Amino acid sequence: MNNQTRWLSVPRPQPAAPHRLFCFPYAGSGASGYHVWAKTLAAAHLEVCAIQLPGRENRLSEPACEHLDILLPPLLDALEPHLDRPFGFFGHSMGTLLAFEAARALRDRGWPTPRRLFLSAGRPPHLARTDTPLHGLPDDAFLAAIVARYQGIPAAVLEHRELLDLILPTLRADITLLETYRYRPAAPLAAGFSVFGGRSDPRVDDESLRRWRDLTEGPFLCETFDGGHFYLNDVRPALTDAIARCLADEAGSGASPGRTPGRQLPRS
């Protein structure tokens, strides 16, 4: 398995697609969560490239990374051959941080940058964290706290200790990455931001979502849908349609990344 195959999963290759969407996972998840997106977005002539981090699915034998500064360099190296056409970044929850910092790192390298960032259910990284850290808790207390805070572990997994033991190291590493991350001030990104969230999300409220505006000089849109932290599982058609149309509009405009006119996204 070469470096690109390790880091990227492209379930439906679209060699002629005019643009790509790189999808970053939430804590504890893998690339397969975006495979259903690929089928939907292929009809919109958009190639989905799902990021596969170490420690999950086909990379389960590799240790998950606890520090963003260690994670980003090899990830960017794997992305580089795929930056040959207009592209966007999508991230949910932890994935918003990964997408944002990957975009900044691409800019620092002088490489192509996303035309737009689609940021879902993520707290802007420049806002102070007020949560009690969880990553140092004993296993059972850690899992209980994760369920209480995020409601993101399926009931079928919670009922099987062997499955919990399998995902626990990766989930703990991801939470460690989030809780030890320190924001470094830098110039706002040129790319436009489309920010999404669930109206009943106890973790990321509307005010927090709108603070992503501080981090971009490009067009900014903020849209909320019915649902909680994992609202996207219930509104996938509306969400993917909005993303596809936005990328198509921006790619068709011929404008520089982040300097294209915005579009009001539909409400659910």
Q: d(Cα 9, Cα 4) in Å, to the nearest integer? A: 9
The structure tokens listed for 257 are 């990344």
The runs of H, that is alpha helices, within the chain are 3-7, 35-42, 68-79, 94-109, 139-150, 155-158, 161-180, 206-210, 236-253
153: number of Cβ within 10 Å: 16
DSSP codes joined into one string, 213-246: GGGBSS-EEEEEESSSTTGGGTSHHHHHHHHHHH
Q: How far is CA 144 from CA 135, 138, 149, in A?
A: 12, 10, 9
In angstroms, what CA-CA distances link 146 with 138, 151, 175, 184, 197? 12, 7, 9, 27, 19
253 is catalytic: no
State how far the Cα of 173 lies from the Cα of 193, in Å rounded to an integer.
Answer: 28
CB–CB of 110/85 below 8 Å? no
Could you tell me the sign of the dihedral formed by the alpha carbons of 172, 175, 177, 181, in that order?
negative
Catalytic site residue from 9, 29, 93, 194? 93
The crossing angle, in degrees rounded to 10, of helices 94-109 and 161-180 is 50
Query: What region does 45 belong to: left with phi over 0, alpha with psi -120 to 50, or beta?
Result: left
For the annotated catalytic residues, the residue numbers are: 93
